[in-house]
Each structure stands twice: as C-alpha cells, then as structure tokens.
Structure 1
Amino acid sequence: MSNLQIEEKLFNIQNSISKLSLAVKTIFSVEEASAFLNLKPSYLYKLTSDKRIRFYKPNGKLLYFKKEDLESFLLRNPSETIKEEDSIPQNHWKK
C-alpha cells in the first residue's frame, strides 16, 4: 500500500470520527455547528447577527449552540406534501 493510499484512509477515518463526535455532543462551538449545518462559519455568524438562529454567549465572547436549536433551525419552513385529493386536477374554470 502506498503512502498516498494510507494518508487517504487515515483522512477518511478522521472524518468518520469527527462526524461521530458531532452525533453525541449536545453543545457545539461555531466550527462544530457550521459542520453540523453544512454552512460556512461566516454565514453562521451572519445568522447569529441577524438573530435568525439561537445561540449562547456564556462569557460574552465565544458562541455556542444547542444541538436541538440547530435541528429546529434545519426543520423550519417545511414544505407541504401532495395529498391524494390535491393531486386530482380540479376544474378551476367552472362557469
């Protein structure tokens, strides 16, 4: 096995471990929250400055996020599903 293949496998293992660590944590830093939300940290800071996402500043400087708040943010604005009766075309041109 070449060094490149070994480095690639180590990189994959490291990514898997970091993803697993996010699954068990309940409080996230900015970097962890941005990875969880799949957003850039700069955009996460914009969301916090616009008060569009809940955050905590225990010492007045560093930002932290609860996992449940991040999940609520992800699940906002749900789209409606098509119901069976809605899928039947209605005659909107009745006289």
Structure 2
Amino acid sequence: MNELKMLEQLDRIEKLVRAQKAVLTFDQACDYTGISRSYMYKLTARGEIPFSKPKGKLIFFSREKLDNWLLNNSHSSKDEIKRGAVEYTFRNKRF
C-alpha cells in the first residue's frame, strides 16, 4: 500500500473515531453526515436540523439527534408496503 493510500485510510479512521463522541463540532457533524458545509449552514440557519449554540458563536450537534434527524423521513420499501397491505386486509375483513 503506498503512502498516500495509507494517509487517506488513516484520515477516514480518525474521522470515524471522532464521530463516536456524543457531541460533535460543526466540521465533525458535516463529516459524520456527509453533508457539505454550505448546506449544513443553510440547515442551521433555517432551523431545519437540531443544533446547539451555547455561547452564541460555536455550533454543536448531538450525535443521537443527528441520527434521528437523518432517519426522520424514511420511505418504506415495496415489500414493506405489500406486507402492510396484507396485514391491513386481514385485520379489517368485511363480510
């Protein structure tokens, strides 16, 4: 493995370790979610993502709240929809 690949891999590992913290800085939250910095600023300015600003300057994020926010608008797969429809029809039989 050449030196450049090793450095890139080490950088990814560092980011993963930092992301295990309960509270993330702005840059760490961007790395953790994969959201660009400019879009993250837009989300915080609009109040569309949960964040904290304890001293009015620095922005912090709860990793748990970020996870919930990322999974907030989940979409069911076709199989899940079919399963739900079958369960609904069995529960609501009308004879």
TM-score by length of 1: 0.76
How large is the RMSD of aligned CA atoms in angstroms? 1.8
Spell out, residue by residue over 1:35-92, the C-alpha distance to the aligned partner (whole angstroms, 9 max, x if none).
11101111011001111011111110010000111011101111123223648xxxxx
Which residue of the partner structure matches residue 29 of structure 1? Answer: 25
After superposing on structure 2, the runs of 4+ consecutive aligned residues of structure 1 that deviate more than 3 Å are: 84-87
For 1:18, the aligned partner's letter is K
Long gaps (5+) in structure 1: 88-95
Q: How many residues are matched?
A: 83
Q: TM-score, normalised by structure 2?
A: 0.76
Percent of residue pairs identical? 30
1:76 pairs, out of 72, 79, 94, with 72
Q: Aligned to 1:6, which of 3, 7, 10?
A: 3
Distance across 2 between alignment mates of 1:56 and 1:84: 40
The one-letter code of the counterpart of 1:83 is: K
Cα distance in 2 for residues equivalent to 1:41 and 1:79: 26
> By how many angstroms is 1:32 displaced?
0.4
The structure whose residues are more often helix, as a share, is: 2
